[in-house]
Structure 1
Amino acid sequence: MVNQGHLFLGADFGTQGVRVGLADEKGSILEAKEIKYPIHYPKPGQAIQNSADWWRGFEEALGAVLGNITPTQKKAIRAISICATSSTIVPVDQEGTALDDAIMWMDIRAKEQARRINEINHEVLKYCGEAVSPEWLIPKLLWLKENKREIYDKASLIVEQIDLINYKLTDIWAASKVNAVCKWNYIEGIGFDDDYMEKIGLDDYKNKMIVNIVPMGKCVGYLKQELVQRYDLPDIPVIQGGIDAHIGMIGMGVVGPGKMAANMGTSFVQLIFTDQDVPVKGIWGPYKGAMVEGLTLLEAGQISAGSIIKWYQNIFNLNSPEAYKIMQEEVENVPIGADGLRALDFFQGNRTPYKDSYATGVITGLTLNHDRAHFHRAIMEAVSFGFKNIVKNFEDSGVPITKVIGTGGVTHDRTWMQILSDVTGKEFTINENTNYGTILGCTMLSAVGSGVYDSLFEAAENMVHEKETIQPNLENTKKYEKPFEEYLHLYQALKTV
């Protein structure tokens, strides 16, 4: 029986498509629809999308969700909130029309700009882990200024994916504090630093960036009347969301210190709250007050993860409906260590802990004894070693991790999840809505932002429910120690090549 109480809309604009979902007060996903959109790779290290595909996909997904509910349920909808990839940026005119392709989050064309920014060694960098990434908005903004000056000058604003969608929903330009603190060098209690912006070459940033920063969970504005009438919705607030992985953290119920939230899909993002401003080498942050007042966010990540498995499938033509089952059967027959085959998972560079955008993927140790299943196993182990390297980096810096809460497509791969647990020695919990962690996070923000729940803690208690926990096989953890050390050595040996 469908719950007839308060309902909440959420939308997740991911790398490969947009998902819209409707949840009730208990966190049950009542309806959901995903619409895919393409990615294009024009040059090595570059990834682009047509931003018009985002809105078309959203309208189709929203229409499908609302088409499956009753008029009474529509009236029960209290708010909508969205999350999106970051930093996926697009230059727009005064009407919000895109002037060029969107530069995706995984695009690292701004490596040179990021290098120059980091060499300045400005005090601002201590708030983001001592370095910016070429993935972030600021280096990409500088790249546009230097390489597409005509578009840069013509642009009224250069915005993130979430900003453009919120504008289309409300006619208000407002940036998420999550994105601004984590990717834009915005500092809690200070704002943007004019001296820093001038020194890096963006003295005109106030004319190109959104400077209206709205905290996560606060109201951006109300759904514009055109959309209210088209979809026969109430006058609902649009609640500020943020970066997809970060909002997924909320959807996993990680709203306080101790637990690691791991969003495991195309890329991996690992997030932890702490109640102290702990300096941790090799991570992004500390991001004070980025998401929850009084808590500091620490962020790590692996830029290539599930995307490498997709690459493997394409290379070996494993794209048929039954291919994944075949892959699982094959890889289970390959022993720990993949019979000496080693890989580095840096197919688009390393995000953390090395922050090396020049690093590349590696497969080494090949013999005539290896077949395609060894490649599959070596890739899964490499990503798992990268995960362990991040966990070790946190714990060596005094940040304890009691357990990992996982969400995303990889959580459906039982073999890979066990490898991750065995390699790290950590238990991994999967929630009931692991398919919809980001959607649930958005709907939780909608619930809090509309006043149905008083806090994220209350929302988490009512809307997040654990499903199962994967325990590590500690004997296997010991067996992985040597391959893990070889993984670490391989990067050090090849980083100057």
Structure 2
Amino acid sequence: MFTGATVDFGSTDPPAIYDLQLKSFLPSKKIQMATSFVIGVDVGSRSARAALVTLKGNLVRKAERPLIVREEKGEIFEQSSNQIWEAVCECVREVASGVGVDDIKGIGFDATCSLVVTDSDGSGVSVSVDGDDAFNVIMWCDHRASEEAATINKIESTVLSRVGGKISPEMEPPKLLWLKKHMPQAFARIKHAFDLPDYLTYRASGSTSRSLCSLACKWTYHEGWNTDFWREIGLPEVAEKLSMIGTGVQAPGAMVGCLSESAAHELGLSSSTRVGHSIIDAHAGVLGMLGVFSQNVSSEISSRLCIIAGTSTCHMLLSDSELFVQGVWGPYAGAIIPDMYLAEAGQSAAGMLLDHVIASHPRHRDVAETAQKFGVHIVQYLTQVVAHLAHSKKCSIDELTRDLHVYPDFHGNRSPLSDPSMRGMISGLQLSDSEHDLALLFLATVQALAYSTKHIVSKLESRGHRVDSVVMCGGLVKNPLYVTMHANVLQKPVLIPEEPEAVLLGAAMLGARASGCFEDLRESVREMSGRASARWPDLSTAAFHSKKYRVYQELLRCQMASRVIMSD
């Protein structure tokens, strides 16, 4: 029975096998004037946020505003760029209140990789069949261009080698092609097509220059544009007028310019405030986590797997050389850090999967009511139930699922299979639907997500990458089971930054780099990063998870074999 007692979910001390003589790396904090600040702006799917940050990386103040999302049929998701900008301005004015405008040296932006289209006057061009120009943003999660993506993939262009072999309907070329096919009059009015992060720097500075991050990761840019690709997919208009999608390309954090007079007035800042080139929101999380320090854990950034864990996950890893991995996006040159290549993998559903498993269980309502009586979230309650089950059975939490196995691709596989038709599987169900059954199914699903991460890591390492540690941010890290199972399954330390707002901090680092206070983005990361707590793996669970991972692989093979049988 749940008691509300505190339960230990693993050790924060390294096992003896780890070298305790690793050179300690603690960033040297430069002495800065106490009145020097930068602002980081993060535009997510449902809200815009801003933070006032010191040049030592301390978040002083935060603000948040909701964003309007228009949804239809579960695949159409639209927004208004004007409403987004108004929300950004409100947030910035709030966090800058009471601070001298001359003391705010720079501003950096991150946002979702959504498509924004404008006309020759900078006004919105409708992406809706109803013709409402107020809604001129096709969100990243919008899947209206699935057929267009399939058409592009049939071309088998060499350009696709940097998106794991297949372009996603969430990327921008399929969305532009959809607009041309379904809304030709609107398409003809488009002067500029921006990724949302670049649109924000455009509104802030008036510059139409683009960030290498967005263009490389979502637009197929690599050391220039491949105009043959745009012609082959049916968009010769883009090939003939590349200014539509961007010709002035700069690295993240490079100075775009200063705030325009109008933007400075709207934001409540000085027109001398410098604007840094933007970055995608998940990639800002990488910036905010890369440089964190934890005793006895290597600080080498090319061996740190960054996981941004929320509704879905992004798994990102930097390397010094160009490494291609089938089913993994990239390598993207300079997409985050100059002179380094980015590999980007992920899971289509993570937090969303856990929510589904809990909500679809027959005991969901009863357990939710019990959790409410104790004043805790249902996930926290189930986590405590699992811990007490292990105590009563005198075994580790990990071993509770010896006979219960989950394959987690309920919403398709993004990496490394790059197969949206994959589905979930459960083995070991009984004629029982108790509270304990729900808790164990929850645990098995958490473990399955960790095995999926192991699958990704295995593919990355097979192609020359190295992963020594994992650093995490996002909503799922609030659950100790999620963190501990990743440490135990991967048998690697997992770092959790003390500053939970890694994405906002990453955006602020862009502003700090543009401000001229740091020589480059590496220094901005090094000087503004803080400490992290480490969750070390329980070495005694290695053999158990090795067997469970073999079951995970068997479930995958079983699904593939079932497809072959049913297709005959």
After TM superposition, the score normalised by the length of structure 1 is 0.90
* Structure 1: segments with no counterpart, 5+ residues: none
The 2-side partners of 1:182 and 1:374 are apart by 38
Equivalent of 1:59, from 89, 96, 101?
89
Name 1:323's counterpart in structure 2: 377
The 1-side partners of 2:472 and 2:42 are apart by 17
- The reply to whether residue 11 of structure 1 matches residue 76 of structure 2 is no
SS for the counterpart of 1:480 is: helix
Name 2:112's counterpart in structure 1: 85
The 2-side partners of 1:489 and 1:143 are apart by 39
Equivalent of 1:200, from 230, 233, 246?
233
1:95-174 equivalences in 2 (<5 Å): 95-100=122-127, 101=135, 102-174=137-209
- Change in CA separation of 1:229 and 1:96 when aligned onto 2, cut-off 3 Å: same
Name 1:215's counterpart in structure 2: 251
1:387-466 equivalences in 2 (<5 Å): 387-433=453-499, 435-466=500-531
The 1-side partners of 2:83 and 2:350 are apart by 25
8 Å contact kept, 1:429–1:466: no
8 Å contact kept, 2:48–2:65: yes
SS for the counterpart of 2:50 is: strand
Name 2:340's counterpart in structure 1: 295
Amino acid at match of 1:178: C
The 2-side partners of 1:173 and 1:24 are apart by 28
Amino acid at match of 1:410: L
What displacement does 1:3 show? 6.8
Once structures 1 and 2 are overlaid, which stretch shifts more, 17-26 or 365-374? 365-374
What displacement does 1:135 show? 1.8
Name 2:276's counterpart in structure 1: 239
8 Å contact kept, 1:339–1:374: no
The 1-side partners of 2:76 and 2:346 are apart by 19
Amino acid at match of 1:192: W
- Change in CA separation of 1:57 and 1:345 when aligned onto 2, cut-off 3 Å: farther
CA deviations on 1:3-36 (whole Å, 9 max, x unpaired) are: 7232110011123322211111211111112233
- The reply to whether residue 178 of structure 1 matches residue 243 of structure 2 is no
The 1-side partners of 2:498 and 2:318 are apart by 22
8 Å contact kept, 1:341–1:363: yes
The 2-side partners of 1:251 and 1:170 are apart by 24
SS for the counterpart of 2:167 is: coil
1:200-349 equivalences in 2 (<5 Å): 200-205=233-238, 206=241, 208-234=244-270, 235-254=272-291, 256-312=301-357, 315=360, 316=364, 318=368, 322-324=376-378, 325-332=380-387, 333=389, 335-336=397-398, 338=401, 340-349=403-412
Amino acid at match of 1:477: A
Once structures 1 and 2 are overlaid, which stretch shifts more, 33-42 or 217-226? 33-42
8 Å contact kept, 1:406–1:430: yes
Once structures 1 and 2 are overlaid, which stretch shifts more, 471-480 or 255-264? 255-264
The 1-side partners of 2:554 and 2:234 are apart by 38
8 Å contact kept, 2:157–2:229: yes
SS for the counterpart of 1:252 is: helix
- Change in CA separation of 1:157 and 1:366 when aligned onto 2, cut-off 3 Å: farther
- The reply to whether residue 358 of structure 1 matches residue 421 of structure 2 is yes
8 Å contact kept, 2:487–2:536: yes
8 Å contact kept, 1:261–1:270: yes
After TM superposition, the score normalised by the length of structure 2 is 0.79
Percent identity of paired positions between Structure 1 and Structure 2: 27
- The reply to whether residue 22 of structure 1 matches residue 22 of structure 2 is no
The 1-side partners of 2:422 and 2:382 are apart by 28
CA deviations on 1:392-411 (whole Å, 9 max, x unpaired) are: 11112221111111122222
- The reply to whether residue 493 of structure 1 matches residue 558 of structure 2 is yes
Name 1:381's counterpart in structure 2: 447
Q: Which structure is higher in RCO with an 8 Å CA cutoff and minimum separation 6?
A: 2
Amino acid at match of 2:384: E
Equivalent of 2:432, from 369, 390, 393?
369
The 2-side partners of 1:157 and 1:90 are apart by 8
CA deviations on 1:150-189 (whole Å, 9 max, x unpaired) are: 433343333322122222222332322111111211012x
SS for the counterpart of 1:138 is: helix
* Structure 2: segments with no counterpart, 5+ residues: 1-31, 128-134, 292-299, 391-396
8 Å contact kept, 2:162–2:324: no
The 2-side partners of 1:25 and 1:485 are apart by 47
The 2-side partners of 1:409 and 1:5 are apart by 32
8 Å contact kept, 2:446–2:481: no
Once structures 1 and 2 are overlaid, which stretch shifts more, 463-472 or 112-121? 112-121
- Change in CA separation of 1:201 and 1:32 when aligned onto 2, cut-off 3 Å: same
Amino acid at match of 1:260: L
The 2-side partners of 1:293 and 1:194 are apart by 25
8 Å contact kept, 1:258–1:273: yes
What displacement does 1:231 show? 4.6
- The reply to whether residue 469 of structure 1 matches residue 499 of structure 2 is no
Q: Is the radius of gyration larger for structure 1 or structure 2?
A: 2
